[in-house]
Structure 1
């Protein structure tokens, strides 16, 4: 990009910021939390990959307080601080340049695939559930939790001596079976749901949004319990990050929504850590080669991420 184009882009962003004080406030807050962009992720968080587990179940975008309120899952619940306030940042802080040939990653979120070159991480196997038309739910524009549980159980049978990461989408947007309807919500040319909400560009009741978010978690929990009680070994249920639901973010007290990068409020980085052991621990062994999956069309990847509310 040449200097003239960079200047034009800067002017466009300045215009947007002046017209949208919420975006300007978010930008200032991001500078505060990232220490003037001097850190790429939340260095105060823990590395989840290095902790002790046989199976790691990730509920995408799950706040600790919502989980504590809604969950009746067996096990010992505590909290942990995530290294990211969004999925990409979480991945960067946990798996960048890591060789995890003892681990199989089953994911309903395309961010690992989309950022694989930059992450430079290797697993024994990766199943991109989101990319398979058999598993993608067109009606709700997501991968349903029952599908992720099924894929997790099948992986456990196929790879009995590997650690498993099962990355659910819920409670992350889109809201499953929700009455909230937004025109052009999944149009790649329009801003995502959370951005529209932040900018006041969508006419929805805020309480309905919070209820839809909670309902997404309620829908997922029975299927998470299936994994807890059927997967062998020590299973941990956690989240990659939380979600702002209209709370004010310091130091610039703007109300924020969604999970913007580089904002490390409690609502965004305090997540659940539920431990449950089913029988004996697994005997984990590393494989001899890394996963090399089939390439997925870039447009398909971007369409998927747009449907999840990214790329806006």
Structure 2
């Protein structure tokens, strides 16, 4: 038995899942905000470090608070944040997301239920999966923050017509891949790595998860789960935290790229703050493990503070009309078509 890895196996195994449910957790609905920005995979200490450096979107570091997240991985966070208990408030909330887990059932995860994911337009006043239209596969495969900010500003300015009281903007940064280290990332069959697949010849193809049949999706999720459980080197190929664990990357290099990704999204949050009146919160769905209790990256159902204690920052937005984006086409189309047309178009987009 490898005693060096035993704490991590306990923390991420069934015992960890059981303990995770007893951790204090604060759903974002219990805090006051008009716009809530989810900065995917942001550690509390990283946010405080960038605040100390004086980033204009953040207050002084002593005003960067925290809360205990309801999950340690995105699908787990979605499952608990958007549970049926919050249906009433969700019906008046817009959700703009860059995270593809919104479309995945994820019932293979021990920590998720069968009645939340995948999310649909019926769950929210406005539901915009920005990743469907605005994903890029240039140097890295991800969704940059700009299109989410554009959608959020446009929705917030038309909130009365759209029957929206609140809006959640789920940015993908600072989660990997890192814009400053594109050479670290390549295709994978793991859904966690955003829908890229590399065949046996090393040729990388785009994979549209919405086009998969239920059988194909189940097979792909089985591959992802098997890779996550594997003990060989294959489980770290696209995860910088596991490569850091394995000694393939240095701490300074990974931390620097991670910080740059946070600054990337915060630069865009600054644009949101200048174009939306109201209380704007910044938090995260989960952090990332750096070896605390033997845990690296962000496995689901993990009761480790590095993953579960996330930032909570509140700023006041002031609309200065520095930018005037239009509503995304998908939202405009849905709001100007008949109910029958809405159903057919959502089905075509994979919403139903």
TM over 0.5: yes
Q: CA deviation at 1:278?
A: 3.2
1:237-256 matched pairs, under 5 angstroms? 237-244=282-289, 246-249=290-293, 254=294, 256=295
- What SS does the aligned partner of 1:230 have? coil
1:1-312 matched pairs, under 5 angstroms? 22=5, 25-31=7-13, 34=16, 37-38=17-18, 41=21, 43-71=23-51, 72=55, 73-75=57-59, 76-97=63-84, 98-99=86-87, 100-115=90-105, 118-119=115-116, 122-132=123-133, 135-139=134-138, 140-160=140-160, 161-178=164-181, 180-182=183-185, 184=187, 186-187=196-197, 191=235, 192-194=237-239, 197=243, 200=246, 203-244=248-289, 246-249=290-293, 254=294, 256-278=295-317, 293-294=346-347, 296=349
In the alignment, the residues of structure 2 paired with residue 125 and residue 207 of structure 1 have an alpha-carbon distance, to the nearest angstrom, of 40
Q: Would the aligned equivalents of 2:72 and 2:299 in 1 still touch at CA under 8 Å?
A: yes
TM-score (norm 2): 0.65
Q: CA deviation at 1:224?
A: 0.8
Q: Would the aligned equivalents of 1:63 and 1:268 in 2 still touch at CA under 8 Å?
A: yes
In the alignment, the residues of structure 2 paired with residue 119 and residue 179 of structure 1 have an alpha-carbon distance, to the nearest angstrom, of 33
CA, structure 1 residues 165+187, in 2 after alignment: closer, same or farther (shift >3 Å)? same
- What SS does the aligned partner of 2:291 have? strand
In the alignment, the residues of structure 2 paired with residue 113 and residue 40 of structure 1 have an alpha-carbon distance, to the nearest angstrom, of 25
More displaced 10-residue stretch of structure 1: 148-157 or 135-144 = 148-157
More displaced 10-residue stretch of structure 1: 136-145 or 262-271 = 262-271
In the alignment, the residues of structure 2 paired with residue 217 and residue 115 of structure 1 have an alpha-carbon distance, to the nearest angstrom, of 28
Deviations 1:151-188 (A, max 9, x none): 21122233244310000000001111315435655546
CA, structure 1 residues 74+218, in 2 after alignment: closer, same or farther (shift >3 Å)? closer
In the alignment, the residues of structure 1 paired with residue 154 and residue 64 of structure 2 have an alpha-carbon distance, to the nearest angstrom, of 26
In the alignment, the residues of structure 2 paired with residue 179 and residue 167 of structure 1 have an alpha-carbon distance, to the nearest angstrom, of 22
TM-score (norm 1): 0.72
More helix by share: 2
Q: Would the aligned equivalents of 1:60 and 1:171 in 2 still touch at CA under 8 Å?
A: yes
Deviations 1:204-243 (A, max 9, x none): 3332112111111011111111112321211111111111
- In structure 2, the gaps of 5 or more residues are 107-113, 189-195, 199-222, 224-233, 320-338
- In structure 1, the gaps of 5 or more residues are 1-17, 281-288, 299-312
Note the aligned Cα RMSD (angstroms): 3.2
In the alignment, the residues of structure 2 paired with residue 209 and residue 198 of structure 1 have an alpha-carbon distance, to the nearest angstrom, of 7
